[in-house]
Structures are given as C-alpha cells and as structure tokens.
Amino acid sequence: MAKLGFGGRSVLTRKSNESMRIIISTVIGIVLGYLIGISFPTVSITKLHFPSSIVSYIEDRNSGLTTQTLLNHAWDSANRNRNNSTSNTDDTPKIYVPTNPRGAERLPPCIVVPESDFYLRRLWGNPDEDLIVQQKYLVTFTVGYEQKNNIDAAVKKFSENFTILLFHYDGRTTEWDEFEWSKRAIHVSARKQTKWWYAKRFLHPDIVARYEYIFIWDEDLGLEHFDAEEYIKLVKKHGLEISQPGLEPNNGLTWQMTKRRGDHEVHKETEERPGWCADPHLPPCAAFVEIMATVFSRDAWRCVWHMIQNDLVHGWGLDFALRKCVEPAHEKIGVVDAQWIVHQVVPSLGNQGQAEKGKAPWEGVRERCRKEWAIFQTRMSDAEKAYYLSIGISPPNSTVT
C-alpha cells in the first residue's frame, strides 16, 4: 500500500459523494467515447470527439441531466454520424505492433509507457512541472518500527538524489511520520515478509528503471562512516555492477571478502581459509558480496530480479549466485572499503517467526533459511543442466558453488 501523500486521502474522504459522481461521470464519458469511437473510426484515430454537451455535463457535477437522456443523446449522435460515413468503416487499418510489450500490441507505440518510477507527483498544476528533482538512485530498507532511530540515522546518509523506499514488516507506517523525511519516502506495508519478498514484488526492473543504482539494505546497519554519494563515485570509478560497503569486523562472523580493508578504496578478491576456494575467481574468494547491504547497477538488477524465486524469501544462496548476472564477475563485483558500515546483528525479522515444538522463533527461521539455500542450489543446477541438454551439449561438471 503506497501512502497517498499531501493529505489527499482526507480530502477525498470528505468529498466522497462528489468523488463518486466524478467517477460515474468519467465512466459514462469513457463508454460514450467508445461508442462514438467504434461508429466513427476516422475520428478515433486522432482524438476522441465528445459532443460539447457531454463535455460540459462531465465538467458540471451539478447538472440535472440523467444518465438515460445522456445515453439517448449519445445514440442519436452516433447514428447520425454512422449515417454520414457509411462506406469508410473498413478503411482504417487495425493497429498491431508485434514489437510492443507483450499484451500491448494493439496500442500505437508512442503511447506505450513500459517503465515507471517512484517519483511523487502533485495533484494540481502542469504534470511536466511536478518534479523538482528526479532522483537517480533508489535505497530501500526493510524495517520494523523498533529500529526507527537506526533507520533515521541511516537515511540521513543518503542525499536528495535518492528515492527512499521503506518496506514495513510490522504493519506500522504512520508512526514514521515523526521524521521529516518520512513524508517524501514511499512506504510499503505487508506483514512479516522478508527483504527479497518485497524486492521481488515491488522492485520489478521496469518499475525501477529510472534508477542508476539500487540499494537493497537491511535495517541493522551502522552508517556512521558511510556517505552514499561518495560510495556511488567509487562504484562508478571501479566499474562495480554489484557491490557492498566494507564491513567493520566487529564480530568473527563475516566472510574475508566483505571485511573492510583499511588500505584500499575497493577490493574485488581475497584469500579465504585453506580449501574454501577451488578457484580464486569464484566465491567466496571473489565475485561475491553478501545480501545484507547489496548495491546493484540498473543492468545487474534486471538480471538478479529474474533470479529471485517467489517462494525462497530469505534469499540464502543468492550471494553465491550473483556472479551469474555479470561478466566477468570477478571484476564487476566488489567491496567498497573507503565507505564502510557496521553490521549490528539485531535479530529483527528472525524474531517474527513462530515458536514451534519448543523451539524459539528464530530457530525456525534459521532452519527455513538453510532449507531454502539447498532448494535454490538444486534449482539453479537443474536449470543449468536443462539448458545445456536443450542445446545438445553435456553439462559441465559443476556450475553451482
């Protein structure tokens, strides 16, 4: 549910009667336009022609005209028109454009808008003057209200060039309005869902096509030493399509790859424990970042979105597979050391699980994560095998890490 900004909702509620009438008028207008359109196709190709009496009816909500007289009037004029243009009904060639997006082939290409954005618009004025800034970057946080102070601090590290999108897993959205920035943020609320569940549903590549970089971040990150604009400069400079900020090694749990290095701007490979990396160009020694604070270029996200499975909501295993979306992965995936973060390891969504058979909620969640990881690996390797077989070559021995 995107929130309606500018207090629009209360205005609409107050005037619900009038709105209803506007809606009815509009529907009637559309129906009439259609009737006139089919009976007089030469006109419909350029512009829908409403008789002036209909236009003034639609505009004047207090008009005494009934629907019936209006329809009679429309039939009359439609018939009159047909009477005049008897022979040229079939002259107009039908529109069918196979290169249009699937399902939209009957539309003239110039009216097709295949992509969108999260820019908030006004309800008045000229549409082309609505936007003062068109943000080039998007940052999403998956949040619960308990982390509000952390998110408030984090959001302030992102300039006005970022669209802010919050995914709420606890159903609390209005409370965030205590923060000034919340009013220009987009709020999406669906209870107890994960970051990748939201990402799959609300960040379709065509919806976020206006954004050069997309940050898909957790809520428990400390951004004290991070500046988003500086981060983007480094990502561009080093050609990183998929990246994350270096992690301050505050506990022993992180991979070597994602640990911050004090003496680098960016690093793209590392050494892991002996035997962990069969190939120095493969995860977890290279071509690898974690999924807690990932940053995608527009093109990389277009690929990764397609790899996200609807049912595997925790995204485990995704980090090892990201490399399938960029080429060469060991050059285009990396860690930005100069802008780094702290992973605070707050068990947030983990605690939203369900206590079962004497196990704590987080245990069930963890178990599910592992299960999903195994399923994902199997699916990926089956998919690759199926592909190689379909083109008639035997699958390489191991394609999935």
Ligand X SMILES: *[C@@H]1O[C@H](CO)[C@@H](O)[C@H](O)[C@H]1NC(C)=O
Select 89 or 159, whichever has its Cβ closest to ligand X. 159
Q: How far is the CB of 373 from ligand X (least distance, A)?
A: 23
Select 57 or 231, whichever has its Cβ closest to ligand X. 231
Buried b (16+ CB within 10 A) or exposed e, 9-42: eeeeeeeeeeeeeeeebeebbeebbeebeebbee
Amino acid at 337: D
Binding site for ligand X (CB under 6 A): 80-81, 83-84, 159, 161, 229, 397
Q: How far is the CB of 82 from ligand X (least distance, A)?
A: 9
Q: How far is the CB of 84 from ligand X (least distance, A)?
A: 4
Residue 329 in tokens: 């992965």
Kindly state the DSSP code that residue 391 receives in the 8-state scheme. Answer: T
Q: How far is the CB of 396 from ligand X (least distance, A)?
A: 8
Select 104 or 389, whichever has its Cβ closest to ligand X. 389
Q: CA–CA separation, 271 vs 76, rounded Å?
A: 81
Q: CA–CA separation, 30 vs 218, rounded Å?
A: 45
CB atoms within 10 A of CB 231: 25
Q: What share of the chain is helix, strand, coil (3-state, %, to 5)?
A: 40, 15, 45
Q: How far is the CB of 50 from ligand X (least distance, A)?
A: 13
Q: Phi first, then psi: what are they for 335, rounded to 5°?
A: -115, 130
Q: CA–CA separation, 351 vs 361, rounded Å?
A: 6
Select 70 or 199, whichever has its Cβ closest to ligand X. 70
Select 138 or 322, whichever has its Cβ closest to ligand X. 138
Q: How far is the CB of 136 from ligand X (least distance, A)?
A: 7
Select 127 or 396, whichever has its Cβ closest to ligand X. 396
Q: CA–CA separation, 57 vs 294, rounded Å?
A: 54
Q: CA–CA separation, 118 vs 154, rounded Å?
A: 20
Q: CA–CA separation, 50 vs 262, rounded Å?
A: 69
Q: How far is the CB of 92 from ligand X (least distance, A)?
A: 16
Select 83 or 149, whichever has its Cβ closest to ligand X. 83
